[in-house]
């Protein structure tokens, strides 16, 4: 009787151990949480109304929390980028040319959850 009880106890313990190994190796493990996005990169292109790229346009971005303004000179293809922007701040962005012409001001909301939002800007020449 003692041998039967001991054998049953060993079988129960080993089955629990096997279940733990299965669960720990991905059988029924909890899904891993993705790291929250803490910053984003705004990209876009400055063009004229005919969709021709405007190189050397000055693109301005205004942090609506601190009112700090950063600028970037658009590339040959009219592209621009502002990396490492906070996800918890609203921004305003616009572009201007050396002759004073400028695009309309566009907004990037803190509620826009995209990691790499795209805002294209048009300037009438």
Considering the domain architecture, whether residues 43 and 68 belong to the same structural domain is answered as yes
Do both 24 and 44 map to the same domain?
Answer: no
Rounded to whole angstroms, what are the CA distances from 62 to 77, 90, 104? 23, 9, 14
Q: Which residues of 83-122 are buried (b: 16+ CB within 10 A; e: fewer)?
A: eebeeeeebebbbbbeeeebbeeeebeeeeeeeebebbbe
Say yes or no: 61 and 106 in one domain: yes
Both 55 and 6 in a single domain?
no
Residues 79 and 54 in one domain: yes
Q: What pLDDT does residue 6 have?
A: 60
Pair 47, 107 in one domain: yes
How many residues does this entry show for the chain? 125
Statement to judge: residues 86 and 64 lie in one domain: yes
**29 shares its domain with 52:** no
User: Based on the domain organization, do 108 and 74 belong to the same domain?
Assistant: yes
Count of domains for the chain: 2
Q: Are residues 23 and 59 in the same domain?
A: no
Spell out the per-residue pLDDT of the chain, length 125, in tens: 666 766 665 567 776 665 565 555 555 566 777 777 789 999 999 999 999 999 999 999 999 999 999 999 999 999 999 999 999 999 999 999 999 999 999 999 999 988 899 999 999 97
Q: Residue 92: which CATH number?
A: 2.60.40.1120
Q: What pLDDT score does 109 carry?
A: 97
- Residue numbers of the domain that contains 71: 39-123
The confidence score (pLDDT) of residue 38 equals 84
| Dihedral over Cα of 52, 58, 62, 63: its sign | positive
Q: Are residues 24 and 74 in the same domain?
A: no
């Amino acid at each position: 009787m003692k041998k039967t009880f001991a054998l049953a106890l060993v079988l129960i313990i080993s089955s629990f151990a096997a279940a733990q190994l299965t669960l720990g190796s991905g059988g029924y493990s909890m899904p891993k949480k993705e790291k929250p996005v803490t910053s984003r990169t705004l990209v876009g292109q400055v063009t004229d109304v005919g969709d021709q790229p405007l190189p050397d346009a000055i693109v301005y971005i205004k942090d609506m929390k601190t009112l700090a303004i950063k600028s970037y000179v658009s590339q040959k293809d009219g592209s621009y980028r502002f990396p490492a922007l906070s996800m918890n701040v609203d921004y305003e962005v616009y572009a201007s040319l050396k002759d004073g012409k400028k695009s309309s001001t566009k907004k990037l909301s803190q509620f826009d959850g995209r990691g790499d939002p795209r805002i294209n800007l048009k300037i009438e020449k």
